[in-house]
């Protein structure tokens, strides 16, 4: 393969990574796409090409890329392993393996496509609500003294320092626990039966 020529990729959309005794790792999926990529591409560009090829919207992201790489080439078969692609070094290694073996005609990838990460905005403050900034005061079940329960906030340390009121039960010594016997000895509540 000439170093400047593009490499053909077969990409499995949300596929399964399986294994057998003949060829090792292989991918299965209902949807596959093929496209060419330059061997000089970066990890970010490879992800972008995958997103373009599968026409992913703004709410879908490529969360994982696994490559099927040859680990051993015998007289009659090629043994493959899975290799996770996470950065530019992994992409470079993938292309180096491809260049090393002339019998490999394409690079196979299995990608996981997921919804965008909604949890990343969970602790972001809202412009229309102060819920995430103000602690709420609640009254304990056995006391008229208020106790402060901080709510989630981007700066939880400040709220923890600001919470000075504590529930009276928090300062009382703990009550002794009652343990159940689970067949580990005689039950002290049962009277011993006298045998005749």
Pick the range with the lowest mean pLDDT from 59-68, 80-89, 178-187: 178-187
Cα Rg for the chain, rounded, in angstroms? 30
Q: For the residues 83-112, what does the mean pLDDT come to?
A: 93
User: Tokens 């703004």 label which residue?
Assistant: 58
Q: For the residues 107-135, what does the mean pLDDT come to?
A: 56
Pick the range with the lowest mean pLDDT from 66-75, 83-92, 177-186: 177-186
Domain 7-116 has CATH 3.10.20.90: yes
* Model confidence pTM above 0.85: no
Residue 40's pLDDT is what? 93
pLDDT grade, residue 68 (50/70/90)? Answer: very high
């Amino acid at each position: 393969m000439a170093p400047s020529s593009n490499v053909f990729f077969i990409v499995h959309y949300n596929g399964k990574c399986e294994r057998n005794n003949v060829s090792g790792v292989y991918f299965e999926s209902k949807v596959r796409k093929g496209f060419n990529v330059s061997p000089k591409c970066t990890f970010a560009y490879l992800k972008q090409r995958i997103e373009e090829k599968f026409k992913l919207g703004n709410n879908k992201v490529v969360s994982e890329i696994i490559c099927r790489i040859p680990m051993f080439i015998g007289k009659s078969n090629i043994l493959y392993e899975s290799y996770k692609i996470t950065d530019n070094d992994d992409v470079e290694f993938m292309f180096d393996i491809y260049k090393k073996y002339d019998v490999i005609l394409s690079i196979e990838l299995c990608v996981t496509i997921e919804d965008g990460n909604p949890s990343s905005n969970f602790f972001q403050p809202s412009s229309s609500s102060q819920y995430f900034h103000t602690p709420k005061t609640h009254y304990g079940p056995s006391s008229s003294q208020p106790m402060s329960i901080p709510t989630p906030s981007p700066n939880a340390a400040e709220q923890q320092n600001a919470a000075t009121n504590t529930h009276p039960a928090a300062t009382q010594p703990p009550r002794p626990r009652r343990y159940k016997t689970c067949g580990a000895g005689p039950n002290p509540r049962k009277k011993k039966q006298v045998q005749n």
